[in-house]
Structure 1
Amino acid sequence: MADFIEELEWRGMIHDMTPGVKEQMNRELTTAYIGFDPTADSLHIGSLVQIMTLVHLQRAGHKPLALVGGATGMVGDPTGKSAERNLLSSDVLEHNLKGVKKQLERFLDFDCGDNSAEVVNNYDWFKEFSFLDFIRDVGKHITINYMLAKDSVKKRMEFGMSFTEFSYQLVQGYDYLWLYRNKGCKVQLGGSDQWGNIVTGTELIRRVEQGEAFAVTTPLIKKADGTKFGKTEGGNVWLDKDKTSPYHFYQYWLNASDEDAENYIRIFTLMNKEEIEAIIGEHRKAPHLRTLQQALAKDVTIRVHSEEDYEMAVKASAILFGKSTTEELSSIDEATLLAVFEGVPQITVSRDVLATSPDVTSFLSELTDTIIFGSKGEARRMIQGGGVSINKKKVNDPEEIVDYPLLQNKYLLAQKGKKNYYLIIID
């Protein structure tokens, strides 16, 4: 079996670990788990760090468990929060759980023998566990002093903390105990902010079962410029293409700084050390070509979405940022077209207006509510100066008839100058 800990170390994916974990992983096929929070029906790229940790675990010959927190999602993890979260209903949680499970199945092998991946839901073992049984069988083994010493608790004390959130580390600790007893799980993995919750589980196993269990945490990803990883002006970068289009997903990685991209390519791809060092070396010789970012964006986009989505994203990027033809513009699908031109002014006109338009000058001014051009004179002057295109084809004659094939039988793309785009929706 490959050395799992060694693999994570050279990739910069180890923040902390308990003594003896490397020996355990090298001694035998080991079952390890990570918990995923079902607060939405999709994971975002922050979760990719933990997904990749499970991928490396399985590739090293060990068995990954992905715990989707149907029970803990009802409580809410206080870690890193300054206020208590809204608790989710069982219906919303069930919907979210299905979405998260579906995404995890894209990365892990669930049919490969002894080290097949498995998804577990902690609601299955908590739903029949009464409160009195819990405080008797679990709560008595961990002292209040021990729980108060955890950073996730100390940081919240100044804001106030409900008993619900205070109990979270015991609930997560019991997850580990249950998986130790029922699945032979000996390692819990997670982000560095989860260290306190994880070692509560190892302590519970030691006190209740006199057993030995281990913890490994990964560093929290930080961008070189200090902004939060996985966030854009539009919010989270999601793994679900309906929440973050493959085009925007691809652009997120493509726009990474050189420093960040060198970090990301180790964490988020399965390229080996030699491949990564070769790409970084090539990039450093000509940083303006962005070889590193292109390799990163390609690898991650294909793995999270598909090769077809990646190719569509590349094509769309060329349309927006480079020279392209009407045929290339026509070849991108509607979802990508709308994603690329998200935020540009949109104007709706009827098919009758389009059909009866006397000329392109009138169409780009009066007949589109003077949004593109304030007057026919302004439109005419810019057309004569070569500064107007429709569907990436330059308009040469102010008097020509508007007779352009519609994109997706519904849209025209007008361009004024180099950077001003307008999406005309033909209703």
Structure 2
Amino acid sequence: MEKRKNIIDELKERGYFEQATFEDELRELFDKEQVTFYIGFDATADSLTIGHFIQIMVMMRMQQHGHRPIALLGGGTTLIGDPSGRTDMRSIMTKETIDHNAQCFYNQFQRFLDFSDGKAIMVNNADWLLDLKFLPFMREIGTHFNVNHMLTLESYKNRLKDGLTFFEFSYMLMQSYDYLILYRKYGCKLQMGGSDQWSNILGGYDLVRKLENDKVYAMTFKLLTTADGQKMGKSMKGAVWLDENKTPPYELFQYIRNVDDRDVEKFLMMLTFLPTEECKRLGALEGEKINEAKEILAYEVTKIIHGKEHADTALATSKALFESGVSSADMTTTEIESSVFEDGIGILDLLTQLGLTKSNGEARRLIQQGGIELNGEKLENFGEVIKVDHFVGDELIIKRGKKIYHRVVPK
């Protein structure tokens, strides 16, 4: 039987790996024992985003190799805010908002990691940060951080010109303390995160080594960027969320479906579990065939995030739209009570209610002129009554003319 790859080799092969401390030692550790590791997530919104999905994929792969993830919710550190990569201070959020956001993260993580029998752990650093006493903390932790060194780090340098508060300056101490707590409580020996977190992660790595005199490690992976060097995860509407109520499955599907041709292989490797050779084969397709690869990419990502049923619906809807020459990652969506479609609603009333026409008379004329399509099929009967069976999955796509289209979903 062929020996399974070391997880470091897999992370490199799939394009995640950026750098690690004592890589050879860490490789040996992965081979001989279950490694408990953690990744932190500051609760700055009420949903994770597609940008977080890289970190989630890494955690899933690590767990598949038998290692134990800790998803650390930043209920405490979010009160401060990470200055890394910022030119201004993060908005101060209330504890109630942060607690709500952390709970939303907790619910979403249940979809991706197996928390049964201690196979994964989820903790909130508010549990140990909020009750810290300043002088004891600074005596135990602050004495191990050199201010001159911290001021040379990129995470602080770009803020010095416009002013860096001591409040933000303490972020690294708090994040480092997280590593120490997780080491002491769970035997955590590895912190992972995006490449922009390297200096923060090293702070915790150094602290644990100093105070516990043990070998622990740090690893970062590449950020999810497009071929143009931009961080992936922004649409015309803003962030692309993993919450289906904020970014519906179809919108996520279309967003992924519309990536640049140059990004297809990279995203297949990093955002799906398709075999490496299949990712390379699909990524090498050219011309019109690359659209087949994009469709597979969008389907696989949607399936992991929202499940097979939503992925099937998104694929069917997308096919209907593309066959009619329409594609958009930012379709206007309206929710209507499902009872309306159980009884049925006339198409004229529906078009006017959605604002696609100003009156039923205009709607009738538009249909008679062949200007309305339902799920890619031209509507000819202005007396049509729209019911549940008109929907593809849980969506009805209405197209007016050549460019205006609207999605209706029941609630």
Q: TM-score range by the shorter chain?
A: 0.7 to 0.9
- CA distance in 2: counterparts of 1:25 and 1:378, whole angstroms: 65
Q: Deviations over 1:369-419 (max 9, x none)?
A: 997589989986x777x54236466466xxx8x411125599998755333
CA contact (8 A) 2:283 2:290 kept: no
1:320/1:340 contact within 8 Å kept: no
State TM-score, norm by structure 2.
0.84
Residue in 2 that maps onto 1:403: 383
Q: Following superposition of structure 1 onto structure 2, how do residues 26-425 of structure 1 map, counting pairs within 5 Å?
A: 26-111=31-116, 116-281=119-284, 283-284=285-286, 287-288=288-289, 290-323=291-324, 341-342=331-332, 372=357, 386-389=369-372, 391=374, 394=378, 402-407=382-387, 415-421=399-405
Q: Residue 75 of structure 1: CA displacement?
A: 1.0
- Contact residue 31 and residue 65 of structure 1 kept, 8 A: yes
| Residue aligning to 1:336 | none
Alpha-carbon distance in 2 for matches of 1:414, 1:222: 33
Give SS of 1:185's match: coil
Instruction: Pick closer, same or farther for the CA change 1:56–1:403 going to 2, 3 Å.
Output: same
RMSD: 3.4
CA positional deviation for 1:255: 0.8
**Cα deviation code 1:218-276 (max 9, x no counterpart):** 11222113443110110000000011000000111111122111111111112222332
Contact 2:333–2:408, Cα closer than 8 Å, also in 1: no
| One-letter identity of the residue aligned with 1:295 | I
Could you tell me how far 1:340 is from its partner in structure 2? Answer: 7.6
CA–CA distance in structure 2, aligned partners of residues 375 and 235 of structure 1: 34
Looking at structure 2, the residues matched to 4 and 102 of structure 1 have their Cα atoms a distance apart, in angstroms, of: 27
State the aligned residue count.
Answer: 387
Q: Distance in 2 between matches of 1:52 and 1:368?
A: 42
Give the conservation status (yes or no) of the 8 Å contact 1:4–1:60.
yes
State how far apart, in whole Å, the 2-side matches of 1:310 and 1:70 are. Answer: 32
Provide closer, same or farther for how the CA distance between residues 238 and 416 of structure 1 changes in structure 2, counting only shifts above 3 A.
Answer: closer
**What is the distance in 1 between the residues matched to 2:116 and 2:355?**
60
Residues 332, 407 of structure 2: 8 Å contact kept: no
Aligned to 2:340: none
Gap regions ≥5 residues in structure 1: 325-338, 345-353
Give 1:11 shift.
Answer: 0.8
Q: C-alpha separation between the residues in 2 aligned to 1:275 and 1:323?
A: 29
Check the 8 A contact 1:280/1:292 in 2, yes or no: yes
Task: Tell me how far apart the structure 2 counterparts of residues 181 and 304 of structure 1 sit (CA, whole Å).
Answer: 33
SS state at 1:67 partner: strand
C-alpha distance after superposition, 1:100-135 (max 9, x if no partner): 01111111111256xx01001111122332111110
In structure 2, relative to structure 1, the CA distance for the partners of 1:383 and 1:269 (3 Å cut) is closer
Determine the structure 1 residue equivalent to 2:339: none
Q: Distance in 2 between matches of 1:123 and 1:423?
A: 41
Is contact 2:20–2:220 with CA below 8 Å preserved after alignment?
yes
Q: Which residue does 2:9 correspond to in 1?
A: 6
Identity of aligned residues (%): 38
| SS of 1:36 mapped into structure 2 | strand
Matches of 1:370 and 1:175, distance apart in 2: 52
Cα deviation 1:138-166 (Å, max 9, x = unaligned):
00111111221211011111121111100
- Are residues 165 and 266 of structure 1, via their aligned partners in 2, closer, same or farther at CA, if it must alter by over 3 Å? same
* Distance of 1:270 and 1:119 partners within structure 2: 24
Q: TM-score, normalised by structure 1?
A: 0.81
Measure the CA separation in 2 of the matches of 1:415 and 1:103.
Answer: 33
Larger Rg: 1
Q: Provide the rounded CA distance (Å) in 2 between the counterparts of 1:67 and 1:374.
A: 53
Q: Secondary structure at the match of 1:99?
A: helix
